[in-house]
A and B are shown apart, each in its own frame.
Chain A
Amino acid sequence: NAGVTQTPKFRVLKTGQSMTLLCAQDMNHEYMYWYRQDPGMGLRLIHYSVGEGTTAKGEVPDGYNVSRLKKQNFLLGLESAAPSQTSVYFCASRSDGRHYNEQFFGPGTRLTVL
């Protein structure tokens, strides 16, 4: 099993450009999450999904959109990138079983917006 994978690993954007980050998991997990990690801020939840076809807002959703068309994929979109969105983005997934505190994280995507 590959676990949770993220594409791309690095990306540099200019202000106003758009892009999509792809997260894929092969563990048949129901729940998927997108976080951003900034210096001194820990992990902050952007959006999450409790199953295929569902999405919900997290702590810092503004400027981002998500889609969960397939159970194994969770896409994070930036329609018009801003320098404040420079960050490291992590995707995570978890099952709906008894170990629901255990989220499995991908390796992250470093995004720089100039």
Chain B
Amino acid sequence: GESVGLHLPTLSVQEGDNSIINCAYSNSASDYFIWYKQESGKGPQFIIDIRSNMDKRQGQRVTVLLNKTVKHLSLQIAATQPGDSAVYFCAEAHYGNNRLAFGKGNQVVVIP
């Protein structure tokens, strides 16, 4: 597998604490906002998405919040674990566009 040495914003978090990863988006017309996780040496993996008419969605240990007023998306990870160390990308989707637009990513480092 492959990974890229990315010069990214980095969040260091203690194991067991909660993590908040932020993303600013530009396209108000996007229909969905999505979070992907990329572990070292692997391709990105889908985590969760949220429709543009919602402001909160919960998954397993993750919560995504959408603030359309300030065009801001966040991913909250509860009780962060070493396996959560990764680069996290937000992405936008528009119906009928057949593709995603990815942000630049945020690195999360979990300290045991």
A→B interface (CB under 8 Å): 4, 9, 31, 33, 35, 37-45, 48, 50, 56, 58, 88, 90, 92, 100-110
Chain A contact residues, majority secondary structure: strand
B99 touches A39 (CB 8 A): no
Chain B contact residues, majority secondary structure: loop
B49 contacts which chain A residues (CB < 8 A)? 101-102
**How many residues on B have C-beta within 8 angstroms of the other chain's C-beta atoms?**
28
Given A101-B32, A106-B43, A107-B42, the answer on whether A88 and B100 have CB atoms closer than 8 Å is no
B→A interface (CB under 8 Å): 1-8, 32, 34, 41-46, 49, 89, 91, 93, 98-105
B46 touches A39 (CB 8 A): no
Given A102-B46, A106-B43, the answer on whether A42 and B100 have CB atoms closer than 8 Å is no
**Interface pairs (14), CB distance under 8 Å:** A35-B102, A38-B4, A39-B7, A40-B104, A42-B105, A45-B100, A50-B98, A56-B98, A88-B3, A90-B2, A92-B43, A101-B49, A101-B100, A108-B1
